[in-house]
Structure 1
Amino acid sequence: MRLYLLFLALFFCSITFAQNSIKGVVTDEKNQPIPGANINVAGVKEGTITDYDGSFVLITKQTPPFSLEITAVGFSSSDITVESLSQKIVVKLNSEETKLNEIVVSASRAPERVLQSPVTIERMGIQQVKSTTAPTFYDGLENLKEVQFNTSSISFKTVNTRGFAAVGNTRFMQLVDGMDNSSPALNFVLGNLIGLSDIDVASVELLPGASSALYGANAFNGILFMNSKNPFVHQGISSYVKYGQTSQDVAGTNDYFDMGIRAATAFNKYFAVKANFNYMKATEWIADDRRSMTGGSIGHAENQNYDGLNIYGDEVTTSIPNVGQVSRTGYREKDLNDNKVNSVKADFSLHFRPWANETEIMLQYKVGIGNTIYQGANRYALNDFLMSQTKIEIKGKNFFARAYRTSEDAGNSYDMRFAGWNVQRAAKSDTEWFTNYATAFQLAGAVMGTNAIESAVTAREYADYNRLPAELASLPQFATPPTGKPRFEPGSPEFTSALNAIKDNPDFTKGAKFTDQSKIYHSDVNYNFKDLIKFAEIQVGGSARQYEMNSSGSIFTDYDGPIRYNEYGVYTQGSKLFLEDRLKLVASIRYDKSQNFDGNVSPRVSLVYSAGAQKTHNFRASYQTGFRNPTTQDQYIGLDLGPFALIGSAPENLVRFSETLNVSAAGQAAYILAGRPATPTVVMNGNDAYNKSYTLTSVKDFSEAYAVAANETERANAVALLKVANVQLVRPEEVKAYELGYRTIINNDFSVDINGYYNQYNHFLNTSRVAGVYYGDVNAAFNPLDPLSPVAALSRGDRRIYQVYSNTTADVSSLGFGIGLSKKVYKNFELGANYNYSQLNFDQSEDPGFVTGFNTPKHRVKASLGNTRLFKNFGFNTNVRWNSEYLWQSSFADGMIPSTTVFDAQINYALPQYKLLFKVGGTNIGGDDYIQVIGAGSIGQQWFASVTINP
């Protein structure tokens, strides 16, 4: 209650100061009001914006005469002189094509037009947010050129540019008001969890491709900048309410609700405050892909080793003599979580201008909490997952310095695959279940004369539910009933009780909960010497970061306390104009050092030449490098996933990770035969995985050949198939990026943007599976008489499978090109279209076990048609997207993503006198459900209607 009263006092009380008031209106050439136009007093930091009827009230300390500068996206600028306080300011702006004339900052850390940017850049401003056909501005990013979405959840969408991205895109950076909002433990962005609200977006800028020379590690394949509105300029109370429905074949039709409020005020020219609150809830795009990952028919009725993609627990499988390979029944993903999505995010900031000039000090706190689905090696239900950021920043005309902390709490999140495994084990252990199955299968055939399929049905009925046909129930083999319980049916009290207990247990052998309270501490500085150095524009800057992993040993090897490591970077950039300001040269270089790796140097050089009388034909060329440090998981993960374990490759982590494993009875006997004490257990650590193992693919080839070998020669040939892994410790990956481009505006209404790129990757980060043996030397010559040889260990099952992290030595490269066109085709109708081509170059024979995960269609086409001023107060927009089919590769599942065509549309109507904007829209209109990620839910249709109140 006290916080609520403080909020009211802060934003709804007024403080009066002796200031001058100037009123006016801004319209277009057809006398239609222009909302969102910027009104600034020339030479000082005072300004305001127009509301929905184009009117404005400017509060200023200035006394006439003084000048006003009026600008608006999509219109030419205008200057007007204020002669008296009673003067009614009437400004008329002319429309112009400005997609390439808009000002951006991210490409060079200095203001410049998109037209003259040295690299490819895309931008979304306030007008584009208003006209987006998607439910939110963040969803609308999918319609930008070069952007591809990977959708894991209705609220978790990952931006991908130029390939190599899964759901967790560690090669793409996202900055919100200058803060990297990647998860400290997961190392990638969780969509818009702690991003911006539609009503607080000032601008969005996208740089596809490498940007490490200015932005450091992980600005590898692209970077997204989201900038919020400043309360000194954008004041008042704004709010929106959005209601709609989602429709999916699996989930049916369900409600969708989204609302937000923004409050901002400048009490005077020294102090302003801002707050945002947003809430969203919906039903998930339910994942229910039942294709068999082991081949054969779908379902256990005709496939006793069935492993459904979105069924968990049926991965538990064993080979039963005279029966074959058999899997447990498992549970569908839709039964292991409530399939509800919700999100709450808020931010609060205080803004000070102590000297009433461009220097501003900001204190900001952002928090987001919600439920969503993340897909990595498994599928994870992120329940009550919380992230927060706290920042202090000071920025002026030519500098900024900021420091912030990102923290997270996994809340009640859990692994749904382990949930499925352990719910069924809570009813009956794996050993008992498979024993029940084998007994019933063999006796069904012998006593009842059933075929294999019928016997399998009988066996599963008995193993799952302890039920038998009358012919078998009376047999002495079944006189003692199983000690395990019948299978827990989804929705039953027994199922719910078991699932809740497992979701709260962090021991993956019995539970599914993961714990995480990791943090990132980060700081940035930058100074531009343009007012001190005249021959060129010189900037210098740097950053420092500390990672703190704190999972209590549930994810990382931090069982004895948090693990911390540091990294830092410094850079400088110079730009210079030549040839009557037609040629712009930009060069930068950065040095980065991570605690666990050698330093990395990232240079960038670019040229932009502006041809034509009006400098409207701009040719650009650039060379730049990018690098990505191994993530916290690549280095320090130590996670037992049951069938295999994940081990990070930091040198200290190889010792920190260890586990005790049970030696088979045959293995214990071999110890005695070798004259050594019987050893029931062995202790293995990361060194065994990285230095004393075989590649898993070679072990599989060996096992198949060894099982059918009839003599010593054939057994020796099988042994020859084994390949020692010799895994090298992971190091940063690098990319060299070459790009050419051309931009122009023709006749003020036709824009063209063409680019082509070639990327060459070195030390591409890779994961691979290896098999470590409990005993024996994998580097020694095979001795068939040695009872403790590694080959003997493999044949007895005395092995442990690990997923390890390293770099491929194979050559990997990609290339692509794109073209974007925009034209005013009739009055204010604007037609846009773009095409992107992407190609991967990789010879699989150089590294047969390496999975590139390019995950990008070769061809993509997008088009739009809209009119923001179709007639008075009415506008509309449409978008269509198409992509060719492509291969999806990930640690969860591989498969082909079919070609897809998606059509979105919206109409909007404004009531300027009431500050209201009504909007109705839909996505995937008339289309079938489609997928963007193998293993995630199919994306259906979404309809929404909203009303926005904006001062």
Structure 2
Amino acid sequence: DQGRPALGSPQFKDMYNKVRRIPVPKGGGLLDRSDLWGIDGSYNLSEYTKSFADVIVGGNWRKYLLDSDSTLFPDPVDKPIGITEFGAYVQITKELNSWLKLSASGRYDKNENFKGRFTPRITAVIKAKENNNFRLSYQTAYRFPSTQQQWIDLDLFSYKLIGGNKSFVSKYHFDTNPAYYRDSLQNGVVKQWDYPLQKPESLTSFEVGYRGLLLDQKLMIDAYGYWGFYQDFTGRISVIQSKSGSGIPDLNTDQVYSVPINYHDNINTNGFGIGVDYRLPRNFSVSANFSSDNLDVPAGLTTNFNTPKYRLNLGVANSSFGKDKRAGFAINYRWQDGFYFEGDLANGDLPAFQTLDAQVSYKFPKTKSILKLGATNLLNEYYYNAIGNSYVGGLYYISFGYNLY
């Protein structure tokens, strides 16, 4: 440690600022000038199809240009990596009678690196009585690997974080110098990793729900439950490769990679939620909602699911009170359960946090304007929502809207 600047000293800060501005591999800076171009559109055909059903069609096109000068992706200087995606959908809604409405849709998506996929969905809304509805839905969804899951190429010194594109096979010589599952070697079992073909993940889910007004329409309840089944779920595992070019790698000295994989067995997810709103006299109202989400995953698979198991929101508000009912206010309390965060760059326990949001408003009827003064995280309780992210404090604002009502 001789000659090393002390932590926090001016010399240390100066050296730190210099190094973080130098791009990798000579420094710690990342250059990401990537672009995303996109077009989205939809058209309601119901004017022409109303005798049969309500019909909506739409589509989208996206072009990713990954430009990092080889600091984040394996893109040569001034030669960004391009990825094109497109999709189209049609949605048909039909009211069969006074108590049953059906909605069906189909969507086709294509990414230039993967085969296209058609995903259907169907929903039924059943009217039990006035302002009381049950809903049932069957849905399928499809997700292409993200740009980083396909193309990231980042040396984190203790391991290399790479994507699932086949070009990495030749770049890191996995075809001639195979890698092995790290967790298997730790358990004394030699299991070779064969760099399987990367696939998009798909989800089949079922949902039931209820929404209704009760107690003379003063109480609104919205509740749901869902069950989902992932196929080819995308996660990450660690593999290790010999630096000598052959043989079984050493767990302590050889090269470790974090690689994306598709888990072939089904992975289940489920959850529920309930929201309650109650109208009180003189325009006061109180609200509460609670939700839970769960994912059942095998040990050793990094999922990046990153969703708290429980979340709670409580609120009280009044939209119009005082002289001429011009004033208003809203107070909301938010709480989120802690969970183990998994990211490409960092993992760790994310603690639970809670915040209080508040807002007051005043209306100016002559100009149809509203003045608002408010705060998100009013008490300025610092928290962070991902490992490696900066702390989030209070946000205080004032706004004026003209000709709003």
| Contact 1:524 1:542 (8 Å CA) reproduced | yes
- What residue in structure 1 maps to residue 158 of structure 2? 643
Aligned residue among 807, 811, 831 for 2:286: 831
Aligned residue among 933, 939, 948 for 2:386: 933
- What residue in structure 2 maps to residue 322 of structure 1? none
For 1:823-852, what per-residue CA distance to the aligned partner results, in whole angstroms no more than 9, with x for missing partners? 11222101111121223223x3xxx32123
CA distance in 2, matches of 1:931, 1:817: 25
- What residue in structure 2 maps to residue 753 of structure 1? 222
CA distance in 1, matches of 2:135, 2:289: 19
1:501 matched to 2:15? The reply is: no
| Contact 2:121 2:138 (8 Å CA) reproduced | yes
1:80-159 aligned at under 5 Å gives the runs none
1:693 matched to 2:144? The reply is: no
CA distance in 2, matches of 1:811, 1:651: 24
Q: Quote how far apart the aligned CAs of 1:489 are.
A: 5.2
**Alignment-mate amino acid for residue 84 of structure 2:** N
- What residue in structure 2 maps to residue 736 of structure 1? 204
CA distance in 1, matches of 2:18, 2:308: 42
- What residue in structure 2 maps to residue 903 of structure 1? 356
| Contact 1:877 1:906 (8 Å CA) reproduced | yes
* Secondary structure at the counterpart of residue 280 of structure 2: strand
Tell me, which stretches of 5 or more residues in structure 2 are unaligned?
A: none
* Secondary structure at the counterpart of residue 745 of structure 1: strand
- Shift of the 603–504 alpha-carbon distance from structure 1 to 2, 3 Å rule, reads same
1:806 matched to 2:261? The reply is: yes
* Secondary structure at the counterpart of residue 849 of structure 1: coil
Aligned residue among 172, 175, 195 for 1:727: 195
**Alignment-mate amino acid for residue 571 of structure 1:** Y
Q: Quote how far apart the aligned CAs of 1:650 are.
A: 1.6
Q: Quote how far apart the aligned CAs of 1:622 are.
A: 0.7
1:490 matched to 2:8? The reply is: yes
1:855 matched to 2:306? The reply is: yes
- Shift of the 570–875 alpha-carbon distance from structure 1 to 2, 3 Å rule, reads closer
- What residue in structure 1 maps to residue 396 of structure 2? 944
- What residue in structure 2 maps to residue 794 of structure 1? 250
- Shift of the 836–490 alpha-carbon distance from structure 1 to 2, 3 Å rule, reads same
CA distance in 1, matches of 2:38, 2:395: 40
1:442-591 aligned at under 5 Å gives the runs 463=1, 466=2, 485-487=3-5, 490=8, 492=10, 494-508=11-25, 510-533=26-49, 534-559=51-76, 561-580=79-98, 582-591=99-108
1:200-211 aligned at under 5 Å gives the runs none
Q: Quote how far apart the aligned CAs of 1:731 are.
A: 0.8
**Alignment-mate amino acid for residue 596 of structure 1:** N
**Alignment-mate amino acid for residue 839 of structure 1:** N
**Alignment-mate amino acid for residue 572 of structure 1:** V
- Shift of the 775–625 alpha-carbon distance from structure 1 to 2, 3 Å rule, reads same
CA RMSD of aligned residues (A): 2.8
Q: Quote how far apart the aligned CAs of 1:605 are.
A: 0.5
* Secondary structure at the counterpart of residue 149 of structure 2: helix
CA distance in 2, matches of 1:570, 1:650: 25
CA distance in 1, matches of 2:82, 2:356: 47
Q: Quote how far apart the aligned CAs of 1:739 are.
A: 0.7
1:185-334 aligned at under 5 Å gives the runs none
Q: Quote how far apart the aligned CAs of 1:935 are.
A: 4.3
CA distance in 2, matches of 1:605, 1:500: 55
* Secondary structure at the counterpart of residue 875 of structure 1: strand
* Secondary structure at the counterpart of residue 827 of structure 1: helix
Q: Quote how far apart the aligned CAs of 1:733 are.
A: 0.7
* Secondary structure at the counterpart of residue 47 of structure 2: coil
* Secondary structure at the counterpart of residue 167 of structure 2: helix
1:434-449 aligned at under 5 Å gives the runs none
| Contact 2:75 2:81 (8 Å CA) reproduced | yes
CA distance in 2, matches of 1:749, 1:909: 25
| Contact 2:378 2:395 (8 Å CA) reproduced | no
- Shift of the 623–943 alpha-carbon distance from structure 1 to 2, 3 Å rule, reads closer
Structure with the higher fraction of residues in strand conformation: 2
CA distance in 1, matches of 2:339, 2:37: 38
* Secondary structure at the counterpart of residue 30 of structure 2: coil
1:919 matched to 2:373? The reply is: yes
Identity of aligned residues (%): 30
Aligned residue among 308, 331, 335 for 1:878: 331
1:599 matched to 2:113? The reply is: no
For 1:587-618, what per-residue CA distance to the aligned partner results, in whole angstroms no more than 9, with x for missing partners? 11112221111221110011112232xx3111
CA distance in 2, matches of 1:918, 1:522: 34
TM-score by length of 1: 0.39
Bigger Cα Rg: 1
For 1:173-209, what per-residue CA distance to the aligned partner results, in whole angstroms no more than 9, with x for missing partners? xxxxxxxxxxxxxxxxxxxxxxxxxxxxxxxxxxxxx
* Secondary structure at the counterpart of residue 599 of structure 1: strand
Q: Quote how far apart the aligned CAs of 1:866 are.
A: 0.9
CA distance in 2, matches of 1:948, 1:776: 66
* Secondary structure at the counterpart of residue 501 of structure 1: helix
Q: Quote how far apart the aligned CAs of 1:947 are.
A: 5.4
| Contact 2:234 2:303 (8 Å CA) reproduced | no
* Secondary structure at the counterpart of residue 183 of structure 2: helix
| Contact 1:765 1:806 (8 Å CA) reproduced | yes
For 1:111-141, what per-residue CA distance to the aligned partner results, in whole angstroms no more than 9, with x for missing partners? xxxxxxxxxxxxxxxxxxxxxxxxxxxxxxx
| Contact 2:55 2:91 (8 Å CA) reproduced | yes
Q: Quote how far apart the aligned CAs of 1:930 are.
A: 4.5
CA distance in 1, matches of 2:354, 2:271: 21
CA distance in 2, matches of 1:721, 1:860: 41
CA distance in 2, matches of 1:899, 1:776: 46
CA distance in 1, matches of 2:392, 2:9: 26
TM-score by length of 2: 0.87
CA distance in 2, matches of 1:896, 1:504: 29
Structure with the higher fraction of residues in helix conformation: 1
For 1:267-305, what per-residue CA distance to the aligned partner results, in whole angstroms no more than 9, with x for missing partners? xxxxxxxxxxxxxxxxxxxxxxxxxxxxxxxxxxxxxxx
Q: Quote how far apart the aligned CAs of 1:898 are.
A: 4.2
| Contact 1:895 1:934 (8 Å CA) reproduced | yes
Aligned residue among 767, 774, 780 for 2:243: 774
| Contact 1:699 1:771 (8 Å CA) reproduced | no
CA distance in 2, matches of 1:890, 1:521: 26
CA distance in 2, matches of 1:751, 1:884: 26
- Shift of the 523–911 alpha-carbon distance from structure 1 to 2, 3 Å rule, reads closer
**Alignment-mate amino acid for residue 56 of structure 2:** Q
1:820 matched to 2:288? The reply is: no
* Secondary structure at the counterpart of residue 56 of structure 2: strand
Q: Quote how far apart the aligned CAs of 1:496 are.
A: 4.6
Q: Quote how far apart the aligned CAs of 1:653 are.
A: 4.2
Instruction: Provide the aligned length of Structure 1 versus Structure 2.
Output: 397
- What residue in structure 2 maps to residue 144 of structure 1? none
**Alignment-mate amino acid for residue 505 of structure 1:** I
CA distance in 1, matches of 2:13, 2:308: 41
CA distance in 2, matches of 1:588, 1:924: 43
- What residue in structure 1 maps to residue 317 of structure 2? 866
Structure number with greater CO (CA < 8 Å, separation at least 6) is: 1
| Contact 2:240 2:251 (8 Å CA) reproduced | no
